[in-house]
Amino acid sequence: MLTGITTGGLFDILGVEGSFSMLKEAGFDAVDFSFDVFCRLWSVHNGARDDLFFKDEEELVEYFRPYKQAADKYGLMIHQAHAPFPSYFVNDDYTNAYALEAIKKSFPIISMMGCRYLVVHPGFANYENRLEPEEEKKVNMALYSALIPCCKKYSITVCLENMFTGNRGKIYEAICQNPDEANEYIDSLNALAGQKCFAFCYDAGHALLLGRDQYKTLKQLGHRVEILHVHDNNAVEDEHISPFMGKLDWGRFVKGLKAIGYNGVMNLEATNLYNRYPKELLFSIYRQAADTARYLTECVEA
Q: Where are the alpha helices (DSSP H) in the chain?
A: 10-26, 41-45, 57-73, 93-112, 133-145, 148-154, 179-193, 204-209, 214-221, 250-259, 282-301
The CATH number assigned to the domain holding 146 equals 3.20.20.150
Given this model, what pLDDT does residue 246 score? Answer: 97
What span, in angstroms and rounded, lies between the C-alpha atoms of 291 and 243? 11
**pLDDT band at 284, cuts 50/70/90?**
very high
| pTM of the full structure | 0.97
- The DSSP 8-state label assigned to residue 37 in this structure reads G
Lowest average pLDDT, out of 99-103, 148-152, 273-277, goes to 273-277
CB-based burial, 94-108: b 16+ in 10 Å, e otherwise: ebbebbbebbbbbbb
Give the three-class secondary structure for 226.
strand
Given this model, what pLDDT does residue 28 score? Answer: 98
For the stretch 141-170, pLDDT in tens is: 999 999 999 999 999 999 999 999 999 889
Mean pLDDT computed over 86-94: 96
Number of domains in the chain: 1
Show the domain range for 253. Answer: 3-301
For the stretch 32-57, pLDDT in tens is: 999 999 999 999 999 999 999 999 99
For every residue of 44-71, DSSP letters joined together read HHTT----GGGS-HHHHHHHHHHHHHHH
Given this model, what pLDDT does residue 157 score? Answer: 98
For every residue of 151-189, DSSP letters joined together read HHHHT-EEEEE--EEEETTEEEE-TT-SHHHHHHHHHHH
Given this model, what pLDDT does residue 128 score? Answer: 93
Q: What are φ and ψ of residue 270, in 5° steps?
A: -85, 65
Give the three-class secondary structure for 237.
coil
Given this model, what pLDDT does residue 291 score? Answer: 98
Given this model, what pLDDT does residue 103 score? Answer: 98
Give the three-class secondary structure for 9.
coil
For the stretch 185-199, pLDDT in tens is: 999 999 999 999 999
Mean pLDDT computed over 20-24: 98
Mean pLDDT taken over the chain: 97
* Distance separating the N- and C-terminal Cα atoms of the chain: 11
Integer-rounded Cα Rg, in Å, for the chain is 18
Given this model, what pLDDT does residue 282 score? Answer: 97
Given this model, what pLDDT does residue 195 score? Answer: 98
Mean pLDDT computed over 216-224: 98
Mean pLDDT computed over 242-256: 98
